[in-house]
Amino acid sequence: MRNKVTKAIFPVAGLGTRFLPATKSVPKEILTLVDRPLIQYAIDEARAAGIKEFIFVTSRGKGALEDYFDHSPQLESELRRKGKKELLKTLKETNMDSGAIAYIRQHKAMGLGHAVWCARRLIGNEPFAVILPDDVIAAEKPCLKQMVEAYEETGGSMVAAMEVPHDKTSSYGILDVEQQFGNMLPVRGMVEKPAQGTEPSNLAVIGRYILAPSVLNNLNKIKAGSGGEIQLTDAIAQEIAEGRRVNGLRFDGQRFDCGSKAGFLQATISFALARHDLRDELFDYMNSVVAMDRAAQ
């Protein structure tokens, strides 16, 4: 019987400079898609996959994240007093169980691999998940759940994978894969942000990982890689070099790059259109915008 994956690391130490000035005082992960902060989507996905312990790797200025997951007795009693049951329910869904959430500081911005390494003592000797909240994935079955189910068959380590245009490969961790078995991609090499033209494929790593604890040992040893940072991709590639299994899972679902403004806006529109209370109004508005644009041409 494999160890169950019950812990997840959420690296949230980044400065979010692409969203300045908004991120001057608000952590990027609190920016909202419709009415829910980015981080809530990541937490919901983790919960759906059976995660019980949530580890945030934070940095200076991320206090609003801690408050967000705290109970808010005053707000709750006010909503109760006014009989606002639906809102109360929505609010309570954001509450985390006592002791289920931990915050670790990454004191220096030394890369994703370093951020994950900062949480090593809270992980111990178990497999664990990593979720990058910038990558929001809309899927019937949540992406991490798809991965946990596949992992229960394969063991080893697993990364979410998706094809990207060849001219975008230098923005991602890229997989070198053997033959493909359906959605399962046995990985024989991985390279972080390869220079244009040197990419081994156009299969990109998307921000969902299930990792063997040995990856944490690799992080102890590896040197700075792409961009002068400690790369998680390099520590996973080390697993393959040492003969341990790494698979890519081509997941079902639509991924939005909410680390970019265009991706964030696309996610906002897509999630709003999926909401019964917003769909019709937004759709009419979008049609009128398109019609006005056509008329102006």
Q: Which residues bind ligand G1P (CB under 6 A)?
A: 112, 132, 135, 172-173, 192, 204-207, 232-233, 259
Query: What is the closest distance, in whole angstroms, from the C-beta atom of residue 83 to ligand G1P in the complex?
Result: 43
Residue 72: count other Cβ atoms within 10 Å of its Cβ.
15
Instruction: Pick the closer one to ligand G1P by CB: 33 or 205.
Output: 205
The rounded distance, in Å, linking the Cα atoms of 13 and 73 is 28
Closest residue (Cβ) to ligand G1P?
173
The rounded distance, in Å, linking the Cα atoms of 254 and 160 is 12
Query: What is the closest distance, in whole angstroms, from the C-beta atom of residue 43 to ligand G1P in the complex?
Result: 18
Instruction: Pick the closer one to ligand G1P by CB: 47 or 114.
Output: 114
> What DSSP string describes 88-147?
HHHHHTT---TTSEEEEE--S---HHHHHHHTHHHH-SS-EEEE-TTEEEE-SS-HHHHH
Query: What is the closest distance, in whole angstroms, from the C-beta atom of residue 42 to ligand G1P in the complex?
Result: 13
Instruction: Pick the closer one to ligand G1P by CB: 53 or 192.
Output: 192
The two three-digit tokens of residue 238, written as one number: 């080390």
Query: What is the closest distance, in whole angstroms, from the C-beta atom of residue 23 to ligand G1P in the complex?
Result: 15
Instruction: Pick the closer one to ligand G1P by CB: 65 or 132.
Output: 132
Amino acid at 260: S
- Collapsed DSSP state (helix, strand, coil) of residue 177: strand
The rounded distance, in Å, linking the Cα atoms of 129 and 3 is 12
Query: What is the closest distance, in whole angstroms, from the C-beta atom of residue 255 to ligand G1P in the complex?
Result: 9
Instruction: Pick the closer one to ligand G1P by CB: 30 or 236.
Output: 236
